[in-house]
Amino acid sequence: MSQPSNPCAPERAPHDGGSPAAGASGESGVSAERGAGGELRRGLGRRQMALLGLGSALGTGLFLGAGSAISVAGPGVLIAYAAGALIALTVAFALGEMVSALPVRGSFGALAGRYLGPFAGFSVRWIYWLAVIVGIGSEMVAAAIYLRFWWPEVPLWLAVLVFAAAVTGVNAVGVKNFGSTESVLSAIKAFAVVAFIVIGVVLIVFGLPDRPATGVANWTAHGGFIPEGTLAIWLVMSIVLFSFAGIELVAISAPEAKEPGPSLRTALRSLVLRLSLFYLGAIAVMLAVMPWPKLAGGHSTETSPFVTMFDAAGIPAAATVTNLIVLITALSAANANLYAAGRMLHSLGSDGQAPRALGATTGQGVPRRAVLVSAVGFLVTAGLTALFGSRVFSVLLALGTFGIVAVWIIILATLLAFRRDAHRPPSTLYLRGGRLTPLLGIAALLSVYATGLYVPEMRMACYVGIPAALVLAGAYAVLVRRRAPRAD
């Protein structure tokens, strides 16, 4: 791959020397990265960090349809989302406890390498990078499809390229400008969800002149609150957890925060609260206003619950408004996730677990090479999806699902090892419940893999994810361990 040329901002190679806090595995140290010698620059404020995580986690799944989850569990899906929020809260505070003490480049990947061993640090970062790349590719294809709502003659590949160039360009500038852009996109999404919930509450409680109040009778009117049985609530957890994926982005951004400790604490608390309220509130409103069988399986702009709600409120061109929102949602999620992918690949390059050129930054502290390589990666996944449709997309989505659940399990396992370190720096955020809380979180996440006995998508995730992990093990043995003696 050709290296980007910019005479005003030459890229700098990462330091080869270790830091006092670096572990034997060569993981990133605890010193603050400040934009020189392959290091990052602090430029994100507290609000920007919170909205960055929201941008990644609040995706098109909510706007176009929680329909697939509702079709499995009916109104009982609210229990699944509440459980998912608790698991996400556990992972978020586990991250917060570790990263507030050690805001290192590579975040949970570097910490896993330090406390669980070099292979854990290597594998969790590559798994996360692959999962995120798959997610960005799907969002790019989705955005291109939404654009064709207005201009159906635009080729899908051209729309993907245009959006990819825009998202990559935003990520290639300084982190402060990136944070400002993502804050605006995330705020639009948040406003849309709040408007949806407010309109829904009006329809539920007061009604409109030509539409009586619905109340909450629809929660139980079609087979009861759990019409498909309690087993369905467990089976839908893989879909639910994927909805909350992205909370880890706040921790990844900590090395570029102006005040890592206070910013991380504020951002995580705000993020989990907003996501829980948005998902639970929006879905509760959907289920009250519309019978759940009507919601089940709706995935297009025209059938989105948002269109129905805006139509009922007399908002003109409801489908157009919703399409604009989901387009912004897809671009925001892709933008935030490319940030995460670039930073994760940069940390791998800096630690010698990917080509060292990927550990370089510009004079503004931007890991441009890592961002560009990540952009090529998501273009490949977007191209495969556009060419082969659902056949390849199901495989890619399975890999992404397997990756996110695996990453969360490793984060909780790392916390258990982190707490055994008597010499660790003090944390400003803590996960309560001692060892029991992370252990329960790991058990809950493992149970999601177990749904593969009944859920074809999760079965596919295991079929794809386990071979992928074995490939990573082989790559680690060949590329990293073989190089270790010379590095010493």
Q: What is the DSSP string of 104-136?
A: -TTHHHHHHHHHH-HHHHHHHHHHHHHHHHHHH
- State the chain's maximal CA–CA distance in angstroms: 77
Residue whose structure tokens are 């900590």: 254
pLDDT of residue 14: 43
Per mean pLDDT, which of 22-36, 82-96, 384-398, 407-421 is the most reliable? 407-421
Output phi, psi for 240, to 5 deg: -65, -45
What is the radius of gyration, based on Cα positions, of the chain?
Answer: 22
**pLDDT of 227 above 90:** yes
**pLDDT of 24 above 60:** no
Distance (Å, rounded) from C-alpha 196 to C-alpha 203? 11
Distance (Å, rounded) from C-alpha 488 to C-alpha 485? 5
Fold classification of 61-481 is Amino acid/polyamine transporter I (1.20.1740)
Least confident of 213-222, 244-253, 288-297, 415-424: 244-253
Three-state DSSP class for residue 208: strand
Span 405-429, pLDDT tens digits? 999 999 999 999 999 999 999 988 8
Distance (Å, rounded) from C-alpha 389 to C-alpha 383? 9
- Better-scored residue on pLDDT, 24 or 114: 114
Q: How confident is the model at residue 204 (pLDDT cuts 50, 70, 90)?
A: very high
Residue extents of the structural domains in the chain: 61-481
- Helix (H) or strand (E) segment spanning residue 449: helix 436-450
**pLDDT of 41 above 60:** no
pLDDT of residue 4: 32
Answer for the pair 239, 50: CB distance below 8 angstroms, yes or no.
Answer: no
- What mean pLDDT do residues 138-151 have? 84
Least confident of 106-110, 152-156, 226-230, 313-317: 313-317
Of the candidates 186, 201, 112, the residue with the CA atom closest to the CA atom of residue 335? 186
**pLDDT of 351 above 70:** yes
Output phi, psi for 361, to 5 deg: -130, 165
pLDDT of residue 444: 95
Of the candidates 402, 357, 329, 327, the residue with the CA atom closest to the CA atom of residue 134? 402
Mean per-residue pLDDT of the chain: 79
**pLDDT of 10 above 90:** no
pLDDT of residue 303: 61
**pLDDT of 159 above 90:** no
pLDDT of residue 258: 65
Distance (Å, rounded) from C-alpha 439 to C-alpha 91? 11
**pLDDT of 329 above 60:** yes
Q: How confident is the model at residue 34 (pLDDT cuts 50, 70, 90)?
A: very low
339: Cβ contacts below 8 Å, ≥ 6 apart: 52, 171, 178, 182, 249, 252, 253
pLDDT of residue 277: 82
Three-state DSSP class for residue 257: strand
303: Cβ contacts below 8 Å, ≥ 6 apart: 65
Three-state DSSP class for residue 3: coil
Reading the block at residue 329, the tokens are 């949602």
**pLDDT of 205 above 90:** yes
Q: How confident is the model at residue 15 (pLDDT cuts 50, 70, 90)?
A: very low
| Cα dist from 320 to 15, 185, 195, 271, 315, whole Å | 50, 18, 16, 28, 10
**pLDDT of 91 above 70:** yes
Q: How confident is the model at residue 188 (pLDDT cuts 50, 70, 90)?
A: confident
Least confident of 198-212, 245-259, 411-425: 245-259
Q: How confident is the model at residue 40 (pLDDT cuts 50, 70, 90)?
A: low
